[in-house]
Structure 1
Amino acid sequence: MARTDYYNDPHAPAANSVVPSTTAVVTDSHDRIVLIRRRDNNLWALPGGAMELGESIVDAAVREVKEETGLDVEISGLIGVYTNPRHVMAYADGEVRQQFSLCFTTRLLGGQLRVDSESTDIAWTSPGELASLDVHPSMRLRIQHYLQRRDSPYLG
């Protein structure tokens, strides 16, 4: 489903829902980060998505990484809590979702990279390559917080 991200945009539509969601930073032995190019907005992003009924937020993160990347991970830490009310996602069906996302660090257990129905590309990306990619500001913020190796999670 088509999606438009509004980030600190005074012309953004008003939110009409909040859905707990996750993103995850998955790294390899070379400290490269796996990114997917999202089909709905054509931007590079961390894997992640909405929590489903009956699962924990940690289970949601593990499931979303597997679905979107083909990789098996376990959650190893929390990068931050992202709840900016000025970041909304408008979907073609009329839902306008306020951001509510927890971003986790992971430990790679196995699997093989593969593109799923929600993405058009997937890549291991070194920190030096990030500046040249079309990445949504909210994803860039999460990656920046990961790269800072903060002592405590971001709360915002």
Structure 2
Amino acid sequence: MQRVTNCILLNEDKVLLLKKPRRGWYAMPGGKMEQGETIKESAVREYREETELELIDPALGGVFTFLIYNGKTIVQEWMMFTFFCRSFTGTLASYCREGELEWVTYDAINALPMAEGDRKIFEHVLASDRTLYGSFSYTEDYDLINYRLDPSSP
């Protein structure tokens, strides 16, 4: 099972997002955990590697299971630990090998192309400080099949 971490950085009325070139979808900066890292260490490291920003005291916002299906068969499973943060230091990278970095207003997030599960995560984190737990099932083309969230609403 793959483990990944990411972070939603909130700065005034904006969130820093990464537009991935493969699908043109927006996502939270982050990536794969390294052996022996805590989830918080991974989130801070991955964020710094992609953005050159140093997160200050990120908090756990959610823990999620993702299942990818080919028909009725699970072909991939991973865990994602999503943090949120309101403070950082540094200057935003002018280039990111993972895609384009962009500050996006809260209001614009719903109109952006992204995985539907990410959209649900944003809805919760932008409205609540409670940790969200969830499970998302997708096809191999990343069409959302179903999901469960706890708490179910912000």
Q: Counting strand residues as a fraction of each chain, which structure ranks higher?
A: 2
Please point out which of 41, 61, 68 is paired with 1:79. 61
Which 4+ residue blocks in structure 1 deviate beyond 3 angstroms?
none
The residue that corresponds to 2:107 in the other structure is 128
1:136, CA displacement in angstroms? Answer: 1.4
Q: Does the 8 A contact of 1:52 with 1:60 survive in 2?
A: yes
Equivalent-residue separation in structure 2 for 1:20 and 1:102 (angstroms): 8
Could you say which residue in structure 2 is the equivalent of 1:153?
A: 131
The alpha-carbon deviation at position 74 of structure 1 amounts to 2.7
The 8 Å contact of residues 71 and 108 in structure 1, kept in 2 or not, is answered as no
Distance 2:5 2:101 in 1: 18
Within-5 A mapping of 1:134-145 = 134-145=113-124
Is the contact made by 2:110 and 2:119 (CA closer than 8 Å) also made in structure 1?
no
1:118: which partner in 2?
Answer: 98
Aligned residues: 129
Query: For the Cα contact (< 8 Å) 2:17–2:101, is it kept in 1?
Result: yes
1:56 CA drift (Å): 1.3
Alpha-carbon distance in 1 for matches of 2:67, 2:57: 26
Gapped regions of structure 2 (runs ≥ 5): 135-154
The 8 Å contact of residues 3 and 79 in structure 2, kept in 1 or not, is answered as: yes
Is structure 2 residue 27 aligned with structure 1 residue 45?
yes
Relative distance call for 1:66 and 1:149 in structure 2 (3 A) is same
1:143 to partner: Cα distance: 0.9
What SS does the corresponding residue of 2:34 show, helix, strand or coil?
coil
State the identity as a percent: 28
1:54 paired with 2:54, answer no
Deviation at 1:86, TM superposition (A): 4.5
TM-score, L = length of structure 2: 0.75
For the aligned residue pairs, the C-alpha RMSD in angstroms reads 2.0
The answer to which structure, 1 or 2, has the higher relative contact order (CA under 8 A, 6+ apart) is 1
3-state DSSP of counterpart to 2:66: coil
Give deviations 1:3-47, integer Å, cap 9, x for gaps: xxxxxxxxxxxxxxx11111101121x231000111343211111
Q: CA separation of 1:146/1:107 partners in 2, compared to 1, >3 Å: closer, same or farther?
A: same
- Cα distance between partner residues in 1 of 2:10 and 2:59: 13
Q: CA deviation at 1:83?
A: 0.5
1:70 corresponds to 2:49: no
